[in-house]
Amino acid sequence: MKDKLEAIKRSAAERVKETDSLTALEELRLSLLGKKGELTQILRGMGNLSPEERPAMGRLVNDTRAAVEEMLNNSKKHISDKEQNMRLAHEKLDVTMPGRTKPVGHLHPLSIVINELSELFIGMGYEVAEGPDVETDYYNFEALNIPANHPAKDEQDTFYVEGGLVLRTQTSSVQIRTMEKKKPPIKIIAPGTVFRSDQVDPTHSPVFHQLEGLVVDKGVTMAGLKGSLIMFVKKLFGNETKARFRPHHFPFTEPSAEMDISCFACGGKGCRVCKDSGWIEILGCGMVHPRVLEMGGIDPTIYSGFAFGMGLNRIAMQRYAITDMRLLFEGDTRFLQQF
């Protein structure tokens, strides 16, 4: 057995010298020290030795294993260093080359529209106001002259939550909160997310975005409202854009109107987008109802005001000729990269 161990050591030294890759070296290690390796076979044969011979033979086997492991480790380091030097000699890095640019995100078309409208109205003297998405029934309905039996409070239109709260159906609630905290003159816009129980289709969504405006001061008139909104649409859609106002009804304004603009797709000639009418509804507006002013703590015998509200999703669709509102919520990068 001693002669076999010496033979294994000599053979291992010769085979290690001939090995020139880490893969081949690993195969050699398994053939010598693995479960079926040469040294392992000798260890299994020690059971045939007498008790007196086993200690000395065990030390000899361990010394042989240690010698073989040292050979393998030294060879592994030598081969690793050699391969690394070869890579350093052949692989070159030009530090002057430009790096690989990673794709970065950009503003969503809705964010672009919100920022653009906000800057436009700020340039007209407005301030930006904010309010909570989850509102009380008072601020969302009652303070806006919408009593308990009003159809707008039907559960089919409004998302109700526990504790008498609702997901706000319009950003008009911000107007009441602003009037309570600030005395006239008031000139604000309130962009934000609103929620209504609508079926999802190309022009409707249960989650959408609005921008509302409020002006309260002495001598505020319907003429001032019309002039401000006509200036707004011409700045947004171009000087060639035409506007018209149609009588309408809103609980929180009196008189009330809806504002249409000439179709962006056909220029007012009539097409599929405007249903051959040449006009597209863009917003609702009107003079603030005296009762709403009172609920905001403002004396309607001294002050008057006007308000307007528009759907930002539809503004974005008209701005960029988008025909399906669902595209604004899907997060498809192929669509978003166009903006």
How far is the C-alpha of 188 from the C-alpha of 165, rounded, in Å? 25
Find how far residue 166's CA is from the centre of its chain.
25
Mean pLDDT of 46-65: 72
DSSP assignment letter at 158: -
User: Which two structure tokens, joined as six digits, stand for 43?
Assistant: 């260890």
pLDDT value, residue 155: 58
pLDDT value, residue 7: 77
Pair 237, 223: CB distance under 8 Å:
no
Within the chain, strands assigned E span 127-128, 134-136, 160-161, 165-167, 186-195, 207-217, 243-250, 253-262, 279-288, 304-311
Say what angle helices 222-237 and 312-320 make with each other, to 10 degrees. 40
How far is the C-alpha of 101 from the C-alpha of 326, rounded, in Å? 31
- Answer yes or no: is pLDDT of 272 > 80: no
Angstrom distances, CA of residue 323 to CA of 15, 315, 319: 75, 12, 11
Highest mean pLDDT among 192-201, 220-229, 260-269: 220-229
> Residue 240 corresponds to which amino acid?
E
Q: Using one digit for the tens of pLDDT, what is the confidence trace for 125-175? A: 999 999 999 999 999 999 999 888 877 676 558 888 888 899 999 999 999
pLDDT value, residue 203: 76
pLDDT value, residue 164: 81
pLDDT value, residue 35: 73
Mean pLDDT of 297-303: 96
pLDDT value, residue 90: 81
DSSP notation for 229-253: HHHHHHHHH-TT--EEEEEEEETTE
Mean pLDDT of 216-221: 96
Question: Full-prediction pTM beyond 0.75?
Answer: no
Angstrom distances, CA of residue 325 to CA of 66, 84, 149, 267, 319: 74, 57, 32, 21, 13
Mean pLDDT of 268-288: 86
For 8, what's the count of Cα atoms within 13 Å in the CB-facing half-sphere? Answer: 26
pLDDT value, residue 216: 97
- If one compares 23 and 9, the residue with the highest pLDDT of the two is 23
- If one compares 242 and 4, the residue with the highest pLDDT of the two is 242
Asked which of 100-104, 118-122, 295-299 is least confident by mean pLDDT, the reply is 100-104
Q: Over pLDDT 90: what percentage of the chain?
A: 41
How far is the C-alpha of 334 from the C-alpha of 339, rounded, in Å? 10
